Structure 1
Amino acid sequence: MMLGIMASGNESAVREFILLGLTQQPELQLPLFFLFLGIYVVSMVGNLGLIILIGLNPHLHTPMYYFLFNLSFIDLCYSAVIIPKMLVSFVKRNLISYAECMTQLFFFAFFVIDECCILTAMAYDRYVAICKPLLYRVTMSHQVCLMMTGSVYAMGFVGALAHTVCMLRLSFCDGSVINHYMCDIPPLLKLSCTSTTVNELVVFIVVGVNVIGPSLIIFTSYTLILSNISSIRSTEGRSKAFSTCSSHIIAVCLFFGASAFMYLKPSPTGSLGEDKVTTVFYTIIGPMLNPFIYSLRNKDVHIALSKTLKKKVLT
C-alpha cells in the first residue's frame, strides 16, 4: 500500500522495467536456467531441512543453533526473493512493474542486512563460548538471544526502508532496462535522470554501518578467539575449539568479501557485468552453501539427523 501511494507521487515516466538477467548469450540461457534452478532447489531443501532439524531436536535448542536457525530462515527468504524472478529472464522477456521492483529492493535489502547482523551475533556467541565458557549461560541467556535477534531484524527493516524511500524519490526517465537479474541499487541509480547524491550517501552510511561495523566486531571476536585457542595445551582441545569457528569464518569471508566489494566502491560507475557476478556469490551461492558449511563437520547436526531419520523409519 505504502509503495503504491509513493510510486504514484513519483515523477517517473517508467511504470515497468525489463530485467536483462545474468547474460544475453542465447547459448547460455538454457544451461544457466537449469543450473540456477538446481541451486534454488538445493538452497530451499538445505535451509528448510536445517530449520526443521533444529526445531525437532531439543539438544540443538542452544544459542549457537538458535542463531543458525535464524540464518537458515534468512537465507531461505533471501533465495525466494531473488532466484524465481531471475529464472524468468533465462526463458523469456522478464518484465517487472515499478511497485514489484521497489518491493523486491526492500526485501533484498532487508534480508542482506539481516544476514550481516546475524553473522555478527554468531561470531559474538562463539567468542563468549570459547573465551568465557563459565559465563556463557548467563551472557547468552534466552532473553539476550531474543533481544539480539530482534535487533537484527530491526536493523534490517530500518536499512531497507532507508534504501527504498530514497529510491522512490528518483525519476527514471533514462530508460527502463535494468542491466541485472534483480532490482539492485547500482543498476537502478544508473537509470535515474535525477540526482543520486542522497542515495549514494545512504548506501555508504547503511552499508558502512552494516558491513564495516560488523566486520570489525567479527574480526575482533576471532582475534580474541584465536588467541585463546593458541593458549589451549591439548591438541584435541585446540582442534575442537577451532572446528566450531572454521565454518563460520568461511561463511563470513564469502558474504562480507563479496558485499563489501559490491557496495563500498567509490561510485556506481563500475562494470555492471562484474557487479552481477559479484552479487551472485552473496545472494545465491552463499545461501545455498551455508547449510552445508555449518552441518558437514558438525557432530551435533549429524547426531540430530541420525535420530530424526531413525524415528521416521520406526514410525
Structure 2
Amino acid sequence: MKSARFLWLAAAVAIPALSRSAHGQQAEAIVTADRIYTADDFRPVVEAILIRGDRIAFAGSLREVRAKASRSATTLNFPGRTIVPGMVDAHAHLLGLGQALLQVQLQGASTYDEAIARIAARAATTRKGEWVTGRGWDQNLWAGKEFPTESALSRSVPDHPVYVQRVDGHAGLANATAMKIAGVTASTRDPEGGLIVRDAKGNPTGVFVDNAQSLIGRVIPSTSRAQRREAVVGAIAEANKWGLTGIHDAGESRPVIEIYEELARANRYNIRNFVMVSGDSADVIYYTNRGPRSDMYNGRLWVRSIKLYADGALGSRGAAMLEPYSDDPKNKG
C-alpha cells in the first residue's frame, strides 16, 4: 500500500495570494485532488473546491465547481494527493515553537547520551561562554526513566552555560556552569511552587521543576522584541508546513500578544490563534479592561480567555497528587 500524501487546506491561511486579481476583483481558483475531505457529514468527500478570494466558496463535483467559477479562475491540480481541512492544535505555544526552532532540538532523544551529543554539537558552533539552550528531552524514553544529572553534561560542555527544558516545559536541566552563574548551591532554598532536585547529600543535580526554573531563567539573557517577532514568523511558517492553520495559544504575555497584532495588521499572520492571556496580574487587568476581542484582523486573533496555573505536570513530577509518585516515593508534587 502506498502511503497517502496529504495537503492541508484552509483558504484564508494557505492561499492568501488569491485575495485579489490584477483588476482588483476577488481572484478564484479551482482545486482538484484524488480525494478532498470536507468534514461535512452531508458531503464528506468531493472532487473539487472553489476558492474565491480568501474563502472556500463551494465544494462539490468538478462539474459543479466549474459551473460556479468565473472564466478567469486558475486551476490547481494535485493528482495522487489527498486534501483535508487545516488542523487546529488545542494547546500550543506559538512563540515557544519559534524559539525552540532556534535552539537545540532534543525531541526523540532515546538516551541521555544522545541528548548530550546534540547539545555538545550546538556548543561546538557557539562562541565560548555563550548560553546554549534547548527543549524536548524526556527521561521516560530512557532506560530507568530517571531524571538526568548535570555531571555528564558538564563534562561534555564545560565552557558554555547550558539550560535545556523538558518536553513539557515544566522542568529543565542546567549544567554546572549555568548553576554557578545563577548562584545555585546546596544552600539555595526551593522557591514556592518549585523544586530543586537534589542528590543524597543535598547538592543540586541540575534539574529544576516548575517555579524553580526561574532560578536559572533569570540569568539567561533575554531576547529582543525583534528576535521574538521573527521567532513568531518562523513558528507560523513551521505550523503551516505541518498542516496547522489554527491554534489555541495557552498563555501569552501582553508584549507577545502585541507582536501578534502587529503581524496581523501587516498581513503576516497566516494562522488563526485563540490566545489565552497568561495569568500575570498586570496583563490580566489590562485585557479585562480592554474587554474580550473576537475574530480580529479577518479572523486571525481572538483574545478573550485567561490561563491560570494550579500545579505542575505529571512527566516532570510536579503535578500535585494525593499519593506519592510510584517512582519517587517522597514526592507528591
TM-score range, shorter chain: under 0.3
Greater share of helix residues, 1 or 2? 1
Q: Which has the larger radius of gyration?
A: 2
Could you state the TM-score of these two structures normalised by the residue count of structure 1? 0.20
Could you state the TM-score of these two structures normalised by the residue count of structure 2? 0.20
